[in-house]
């Protein structure tokens, strides 16, 4: 009986065990089945997402191709809206620029997130652009705007081609009102001396013959003379000098500096009249056409029209009938087209002068340093404005006329430094001030930036604006970017190039690094006199923008590059602004600076001179929502600390915290894998963690207390 009970118990336990195994196997099978389905779903989801990335990648390529011809279209539109004051084009232009910027932003974000997807699946950027069909919307808008703008431009320009410069700047003659500007005796004497008009020359002085290369002149004894404060003569001597019959000299400087005024005074000087048999004045502007200029030379000299357009025939006439005379030729307002397209138009123009009378001379005025180098690299005359005493008298004549006004004189003296000794700027302000000789009006003008004052067609900023309009599209944004910084700001070449890259302003070229392109852009702006070496410290390789050029840049860029100087400016920020600068602060606080969080398209923020108790919490607020920022600079102001949420700025490429003195960087900082350049010059950071290696992919420079950091480790103060 016991055996039976035992057997029955064993059978029962076995049945329970089999039941248990069956249940377990069933459960395991269910789990395996679910796992397989889940894996299949995951695999299918991954394939679906991969297909979506490919589809969006095709759209991005379409978007990229759509953008290729738009910079040139925008260039033409800017010319038409400004030179012709075309209201229809002016209305469409901001919308087109905005959509182009949207496209560039999207392409850059797509590239970043596509790369991130391969490393960290799960990024929701793809869902954002596919759900709203964002790419297609931008493409449709760009195509519509392009077609509309192109049709308008074609209609407007069918009758006459766009002629840069001449449509705005009138041809200038050799005559001038001697009662307005006192004679620039020192400057005229210096130019005449360089043109070898003086009666006494250094022993052994010989001139070089024009041979198709820039003319050089040897004046070893005379070129060490003191140059007036408004000018600088750049001279180099070669070891061997060839005989030459024609001297070539360029007077260079920014628009409105008085180059034409000086050239006129040289042209009409009695010593010039006595030294040359023939004096010819030609206004060139943006039309350095060798045939036109040769015909004008002949026509002015012989007082008859030349019907032939054959250059050989014209030059033969010039050689036979004119160059036997000792002549002075003034070419006023020569622009960069003299050396564009790699044709030899300058040397072609000089060809007949090879056999000219000994002592003949060609004098140019130009805004372009490259033109000055082309015509004579070894001898130039750079004019930065009228001498101070002459300028003060000229300004008073423009502002007061013949009536003295002791009450307004002190206000006038406050205005004068803003004009940088530019006679055209003095005429501009004189036109604004003279009609209302009362203290209230003059105080109002004195309290305004030059770019904030209404300007007429031939006033200083519209004339300077030609220098901007003459830039190719890829240089315009780089120049305007510099207007985000205060007047007098000193730029370091490499730092400026890297900030341009971070702001997305450098075009990539196959086979070229962005840095190489950026340095080429910098050189172009330097040659065009839009940047120049800081005269206060020429050995430091620091560069500045002339203050009048800065005013012009502010006028041009007010809708794209905005500067906040006080609380009232916060209400004027354009909705689609992408680059913003905050300078000082009348009424600025942490609370009202939070308003910047509305402007989600911001790519660049540069802060100057803000209190740390204001800027630190404001920055923390910005970092939460302004996730498209590429460039961030805190100049002449200190953050108390770098907020942890800076990690949200995944596209940040350039960070300037060089004035900050905090001792550590947040953990999230080391996740910013788009960083290219970091300036932490004065930071008291002593340890760079291993996470630094995560930045090596793109990081090019991490500057800390004078050292360039290249690896993790301890860095003692």
Instruction: Between 42 and 573, name the one with better pLDDT.
Output: 573
For 83, the 3-state DSSP assignment is: helix
C-alpha–C-alpha distance, residues 134 and 113, integer Å? 15
In the chain, what percentage of residues exceed pLDDT 70? 77
Instruction: Between 149 and 508, name the one with better pLDDT.
Output: 149
- Residue 207, pLDDT above cutoff 60: no
Q: Judge contact between 346 and 231, C-beta under 8 A.
A: no
pLDDT of residue 217: 30
pLDDT of residue 205: 39
Determine which of 33-47, 74-88, 597-611, 622-636 has the lowest per-residue pLDDT on average.
33-47
In a domain, 165, yes or no: no
In a domain, 356, yes or no: yes
pLDDT of residue 277: 86
Nearest Cα neighbor of 255 from 569, 533, 470, 479 is: 470
Q: What is the mean pLDDT of residues 108-130?
A: 68
pLDDT band per the 50, 70, 90 thresholds, residue 674: confident
In a domain, 175, yes or no: no
Which pairs with CB-CB distance under 8 Å and at least 24 residues apart come from 231-236? 231/187, 231/190, 231/381, 231/382, 231/383, 231/384, 232/382, 232/384, 233/190, 233/194, 233/379, 233/380, 233/381, 233/382, 234/378, 234/379, 234/380, 234/382, 235/378, 235/379, 235/380, 236/377, 236/378
pLDDT band per the 50, 70, 90 thresholds, residue 218: very low
Left (φ > 0), alpha (ψ -120 to 50) or beta: where does 629 sit? Answer: beta
The verdict on 356 and 392 lying in the same domain is no
C-alpha–C-alpha distance, residues 690 and 230, integer Å? 55
The verdict on 504 and 366 lying in the same domain is no
Q: What is the mean pLDDT of residues 391-400?
A: 86
pLDDT of residue 164: 47
Looking at residue 281, which CATH number applies to its domain? 3.40.50
Q: What burial letters (b/e) apply to 261-272, b meaning 16+ CB within 10 Å?
A: bbbbbbbbbeeb
In a domain, 549, yes or no: yes
Q: What is the mean pLDDT of residues 571-585?
A: 86
- Residue 645, pLDDT above cutoff 80: yes
- Cα-Cα-Cα-Cα torsion 476, 478, 481, 486, nearest 10 degrees, comes to -100
The verdict on 134 and 190 lying in the same domain is no
pLDDT of residue 569: 86
The verdict on 616 and 502 lying in the same domain is yes
- Residue 7, pLDDT above cutoff 60: no
- Residue 230, pLDDT above cutoff 60: no
Q: What is the mean pLDDT of residues 388-404?
A: 83
pLDDT band per the 50, 70, 90 thresholds, residue 251: very high
- Which of 420, 437, 461 lies at the terminal end of a domain, its last residue? 461
Name the one residue in this structure whose structure tokens are 């803000």: 610
- Residue 255, pLDDT above cutoff 90: no
The verdict on 153 and 231 lying in the same domain is no
pLDDT band per the 50, 70, 90 thresholds, residue 49: low
At 158, list the tokens. 């069918």
- Residue 692, pLDDT above cutoff 70: yes
In a domain, 358, yes or no: yes
Domain tally for the chain?
Answer: 4
pLDDT band per the 50, 70, 90 thresholds, residue 467: confident
The verdict on 20 and 131 lying in the same domain is yes
The verdict on 93 and 126 lying in the same domain is yes
Whole-structure pTM value: 0.75
pLDDT band per the 50, 70, 90 thresholds, residue 562: confident
Determine which of 34-48, 72-86, 328-342 has the lowest per-residue pLDDT on average.
34-48
pLDDT band per the 50, 70, 90 thresholds, residue 212: very low
Give 150's contacts (C-beta < 8 A, 6+ positions apart).
73
Looking at residue 524, which CATH number applies to its domain? 3.80.10.10
The verdict on 429 and 540 lying in the same domain is no
Q: What is the mean pLDDT of residues 359-382?
A: 87
For 638, the 3-state DSSP assignment is: coil
Q: What is the mean pLDDT of residues 132-161?
A: 80
- Residue 55, pLDDT above cutoff 90: no
- Which of 339, 355, 383 lies at the terminal end of a domain, its last residue? 383
Name the one residue in this structure whose structure tokens are 């350039």: 654
- Residue 228, pLDDT above cutoff 80: no
The verdict on 120 and 235 lying in the same domain is no
pLDDT band per the 50, 70, 90 thresholds, residue 644: very high
Mean pLDDT for all residues in the chain: 78
The verdict on 633 and 613 lying in the same domain is yes
C-alpha–C-alpha distance, residues 409 and 400, integer Å? 9
Determine which of 117-126, 212-221, 494-503 has the lowest per-residue pLDDT on average.
212-221
pLDDT in tens, 520-532: 999 889 888 888 8
In a domain, 17, yes or no: yes
- Residue 333, pLDDT above cutoff 80: yes
Nearest Cα neighbor of 503 from 625, 351, 674 is: 674
Q: What is the mean pLDDT of residues 2-16?
A: 56
pLDDT band per the 50, 70, 90 thresholds, residue 618: very high
Phi, psi of 449 (to 5 degrees): -70, 155
In a domain, 12, yes or no: yes
At 686, list the tokens. 């002593």
Write out the residue range of the structural domain in which residue 150 sits.
2-157
In a domain, 222, yes or no: yes
pLDDT of residue 623: 93
- Residue 174, pLDDT above cutoff 80: no
Q: What is the mean pLDDT of residues 265-289?
A: 86
pLDDT of residue 241: 34
- Residue 507, pLDDT above cutoff 60: yes
pLDDT band per the 50, 70, 90 thresholds, residue 64: confident
The verdict on 450 and 477 lying in the same domain is no
- Residue 646, pLDDT above cutoff 80: yes
- Residue 547, pLDDT above cutoff 70: yes
pLDDT in tens, 421-445: 888 888 888 888 888 888 888 888 8
pLDDT band per the 50, 70, 90 thresholds, residue 229: very low
- Which of 120, 142, 157 lies at the terminal end of a domain, its last residue? 157
Q: How far is CA 645 from CA 527, 648, 669, 712, in A?
A: 42, 6, 9, 23
pLDDT of residue 236: 35
- Residue 213, pLDDT above cutoff 60: no
In the chain, what percentage of residues exceed pLDDT 90? 7
pLDDT of residue 320: 73
381 beta partners: 233, 251
Instruction: Between 666 and 300, name the one with better pLDDT.
Output: 666
The verdict on 331 and 408 lying in the same domain is no
Kindly tell me the burial class for residue 176, based on how many C-beta atoms sit within 10 Å of its own C-beta (0-12, 13-18, 19 or more). Answer: middle
């Amino acid at each position: 009986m016991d055996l039976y009970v035992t057997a029955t118990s064993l059978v029962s336990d076995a049945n329970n065990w089999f039941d248990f195994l069956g249940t377990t196997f069933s459960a395991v099978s269910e789990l395996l089945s679910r796992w397989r389905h889940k894996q299949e779903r995951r695999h299918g989801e991954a394939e679906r997402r991969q297909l979506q990335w490919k589809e969006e990648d095709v759209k991005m390529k379409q978007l990229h191709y759509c953008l290729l011809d738009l910079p040139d279209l925008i260039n033409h539109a800017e010319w038409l809206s400004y030179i012709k004051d075309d209201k229809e084009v002016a209305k469409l232009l901001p919308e087109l620029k905005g959509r182009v910027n949207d496209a560039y932003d999207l392409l850059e974000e797509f590239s970043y997130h596509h790369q991130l997807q391969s490393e960290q699946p799960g990024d929701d950027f793809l869902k954002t652009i596919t759900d709203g069909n964002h790419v297609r919307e931008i493409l449709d808008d760009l195509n519509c705007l392009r077609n509309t703008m192109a049709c308008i431009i074609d209609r407007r320009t069918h009758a006459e081609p766009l002629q840069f410069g001449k449509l705005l700047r009138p041809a200038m003659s050799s005559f001038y009102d001697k009662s307005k500007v006192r004679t620039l005796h020192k400057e005229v004497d210096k130019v005449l001396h360089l043109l070898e008009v003086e009666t006494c020359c250094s022993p052994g002085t010989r001139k070089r013959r024009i041979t198709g290369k820039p003319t050089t002149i040897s004046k070893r004894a005379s070129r060490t003379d003191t140059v007036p404060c408004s000018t600088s003569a750049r001279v180099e001597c070669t070891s061997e000098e060839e005989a030459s019959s024609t001297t070539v000299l360029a007077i260079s400087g920014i628009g409105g500096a008085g180059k034409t005024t000086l050239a006129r005074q040289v042209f009409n000087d009695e010593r010039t009249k006595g030294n040359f048999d023939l004096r010819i004045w030609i206004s060139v502007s943006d039309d350095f056409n060798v045939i036109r200029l040769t015909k004008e030379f002949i026509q002015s000299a012989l007082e008859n029209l030349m019907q032939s357009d054959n250059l050989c025939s014209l030059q033969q006439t010039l050689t036979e009938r004119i160059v036997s005379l000792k002549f002075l030729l003034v070419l006023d307002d020569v622009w960069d087209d003299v050396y564009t397209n790699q044709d030899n138009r300058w040397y072609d123009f000089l060809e007949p002068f090879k056999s000219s009378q000994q002592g003949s001379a060609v004098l140019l005025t130009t805004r372009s340093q490259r033109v000055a180098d082309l015509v004579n690299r070894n001898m130039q005359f750079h004019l930065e404005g009228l001498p101070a005493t002459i300028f003060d008298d000229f300004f008073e004549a423009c502002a007061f006329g013949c009536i003295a006004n002791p009450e307004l004189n002190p206000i006038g003296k406050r205005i004068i430094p803003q004009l940088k000794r530019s006679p055209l700027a003095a005429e501009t302000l004189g036109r604004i001030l003279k009609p209302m000789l009362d203290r209230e009006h003059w105080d109002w003008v004195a309290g305004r930036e030059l770019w904030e004052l209404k300007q007429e067609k031939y006033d200083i900023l519209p004339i300077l604006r030609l220098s901007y309009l003459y830039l190719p599209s890829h240089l315009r944004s780089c120049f305007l970017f510099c207007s985000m910084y205060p007047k007098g700001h000193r730029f370091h070449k490499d730092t400026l190039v890297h900030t341009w890259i971070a702001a997305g302003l450098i075009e990539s070229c196959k086979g070229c690094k962005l840095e190489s392109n950026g340095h080429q852009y910098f050189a172009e702006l330097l040659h065009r006199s839009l940047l120049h070496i800081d005269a206060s410290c020429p050995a430091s390789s620091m560069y500045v923008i002339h203050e009048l050029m800065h005013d012009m840049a502010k006028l041009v860029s007010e809708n794209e590059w905005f500067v906040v100087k006080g609380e009232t400016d916060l209400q004027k920020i354009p909705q689609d602004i992408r680059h913003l600068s905050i300078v000082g602060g009348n009424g600025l606080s942490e609370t009202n600076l939070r308003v910047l969080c509305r402007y989600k398209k911001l790519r660049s923020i540069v802060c100057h001179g803000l209190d740390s108790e204001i800027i630190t919490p404001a920055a923390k607020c910005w970092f939460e929502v302004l996730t498209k920022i590429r460039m961030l600079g805190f100049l002449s102001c200190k953050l108390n600390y770098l907020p942890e949420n800076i990690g949200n700025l995944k596209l940040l490429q350039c960070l300037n915290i060089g004035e900050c003195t905090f001792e550590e960087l947040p953990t999230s900082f080391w996740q910013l894998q788009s960083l290219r350049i970091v300036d932490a010059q004065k930071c008291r950071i002593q340890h760079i963690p291993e996470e630094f290696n995560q930045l090596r992919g793109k990081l090019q420079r991490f500057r800390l207390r004078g050292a360039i950091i290249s690896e993790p480790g301890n860095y003692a103060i």
